[in-house]
Amino acid sequence: FPAGALPVGRRVLIVARGERIVAARPPLPAGAETLQTVLGEAEALSTLGERAGVMRLALAGGDTVFAAMRRLPDGQDRIAVMQSVEALTATWTGRARHQAILVAAAALVIVGVGLAYGLQSRRAKAIDKVCEQIRQRLDTALGRGACGLWDWDIPRGQIYWSDSMYALLGYRREREFLSFGDVNALVHPDDGDLYSLARGLAASQTAVDHAFRMRGANGAYIWLRTRAEVVPDVTDGGRHLVGIAVDVTEQQHLAEASATNDMRLRDAVEAISEAFVIWDTSNRLVLCNSKFRHLHALSPEDAQVGRRYDEVMGRGVLPQIRREMPETDAASATARTFEAELTDGRWLQISERRTKDGGYVSVGTDITNLKRHQEQLVASERELIETVKDLKRSRRTLELQTQQLADLAERY
């Protein structure tokens, strides 16, 4: 055979009669001239021949081989082929070793990925637990504050409500997101709709501060004040309106009641016959009636609420006072009362009193008729006194004349 024609570890022997080896490829070591020398104690191959088939043999040198023998066509010689088991399995062993290394590496990678996945899962569960706790605490805080969280996905028309928002209106959560139409149907028709708000946001509006009514689960409308801001969505480039809605029903009712009471107070102040004015602690006008404006020649525009005392009085004309008559009995540290006679002959009784918050209230009562009646009484009293004096003088004159008559009668 040419060199390199045989596989690695294979040997071919030509055996003649007497078990003598006449040819070998590759050559045998020196002294190995018979088949028994090569095979050692394994004589089954030489005995059985072709009937032995392929056998696994341990050679004299300790190597393990697969061996087979066939008779040549001449009928005299035989050919024996031996293949080293180690050489035969070397490739498979190398491949198996590589496969084992790959499998071990893959197993390590899988184990590492599994461990990392387990750790990541534990971290994700811990983060989810923390997020859930934060969400529950946020819902609790929002619920205690009578407000709810809004997240309006403007392009998709989807609105997310927090649990506190559902509780605020008395509804139960049925799905994660609400449609734009479902929420808009709950808005009171007199308070506009969300379409106008959406148009404003689509134009140039970036913040919302809007009060409106929404229908609750019991059919009653609840006043809500929504404060929100448009924020961009980094995932898809859309825009979200995120904010809170606060229940201001009680404040709205209080404001309406306060407005009604204020209107009634103004009507009552306007109905009184006295000039009436209230100033706050900063000397700003709180309330006055038309009698006060007429007294100081002020127009309704001059006497606007919130203007300072010097600004209001600077626009009017102070009445000319001829004289003042303080009432010392009614004076105190927080109040004073005095009477003033105007140049036109009218009399006013002016009462000023400090309020508990530091402002003061002033009431001017027209007492002209009272003063005139008082003057008439004084004049009548004077006339009566003069009449009494005249009567006394007449009585004394009569008594004197009587005495004189008596004296004349005694003389004559």
Q: How much of the chain, in percent, has pLDDT values that exceed 70?
A: 90
pLDDT at site 106: 93
Is residue 156 located within the same domain as residue 189?
yes
Q: Do both 244 and 287 map to the same domain?
A: no
Q: pLDDT category, 119, cuts 50, 70, 90?
A: very high
Distance (Å, whole) CA 311 – CA 109: 86
Are 177 and 247 contained in the same domain?
A: yes
Confidence of residue 47 (pLDDT cuts 50, 70, 90): low
Residue 378 lies in a domain: no
Which CATH number covers residue 327? 3.30.450.20
Last residue of a domain, one of 227, 254, 281: 254
Among 63, 89, 115, the domain boundary falls at: 89
In a domain, 166, yes or no: yes
| pLDDT range class, residue 346, cuts 50, 70, 90 | confident
| Residue 397 counted as domain residue | no
Give the Cα separation of 31 and 9 in Å (integer).
20
Domain end: 89, 113, 135, which one?
89
- Same domain membership, residue 278 and residue 239: no
Q: How many CB atoms lie within 10 A of CB 130?
A: 10
Categorize the per-residue pLDDT at 70 as very low, low, confident or very high, splitting at 50, 70 and 90: confident
Between CA 341 and CA 321 the distance in angstroms is: 6
Residue burial 81-101, b: 16+ Cβ < 10 Å; e: rest: bbbbbeebeeeeeeeeeeeee
Residues 178 and 218 in one domain: yes
pLDDT at 330 over 60: no
**Residue from 34, 13, 17, 16 nearest 25 by CA:** 13
Count CB-CB contacts under 10 A for residue 391. 10
| Cβ neighbours of 212 (radius 10 Å) | 20
Residue 48 has pLDDT above 60, yes or no: no
pLDDT at residue 230, rounded to an integer: 85
Task: Check residue 325 and give its pLDDT.
Answer: 62
Residue 392 lies in a domain: no
Quote the domain boundaries for residue 153.
145-254
> If you average pLDDT over every residue of the chain, what do you get?
83
Total domains in the chain come to 3
Share of the chain above pLDDT 90, in %: 14
Residue 109 has pLDDT above 90, yes or no: yes
Between CA 169 and CA 162 the distance in angstroms is: 11
pLDDT band at 120 (very low <50, low <70, confident <90, very high): very high
Q: Is the pTM of this model over 0.85?
A: no
Per-residue pLDDT, 17: 76
Contact between 39 and 59 (Cβ < 8 Å): yes
Mapping DSSP to helix (H, G, I), strand (E, B) and coil, where does residue 209 land? strand
Contact 318, 296 (CB under 8 A): yes
pLDDT at 193 exceeding the cut of 80: no
Residues 42, 71 share a domain: yes
Least confidently predicted of 119-128, 321-330, 395-404: 321-330
Per the listing, tokens 């027209």 go with: 366
Using alpha carbons, select from 163, 239, 252 the residue that is nearest to residue 208: 239
* In-domain check, residue 277: yes
Instruction: Please tell me what DSSP assigns to residue 410.
Output: H
Q: Is the residue at 411 inside a domain? A: no
Strands, DSSP E only, in 61-164? 64-71, 78-84, 147-153, 158-161
Identify whether residues 245 and 276 lie together within a single domain.
Answer: no
Residue 344: what are its φ and ψ, rounded to 5°? -85, 5
Which residue bears the tokens 């003061």? 360
In this prediction, residue 40 carries a pLDDT of: 66
Grade residue 322 by pLDDT with cuts at 50, 70 and 90: low
Same domain, 280 and 215: no
How many whole angstroms separate alpha carbon 206 and alpha carbon 197?
11
| DSSP count for the chain of H helices, then E strands | 10, 17
**What is the average pLDDT across 129-158?**
85
Note whether residue 360 is domain-resident.
yes
- Alpha carbon 226 to its chain centroid, in Å, reads 11
CB-based contact 365:348 (threshold 8 Å): yes
Over residues 39-68, mean pLDDT: 68
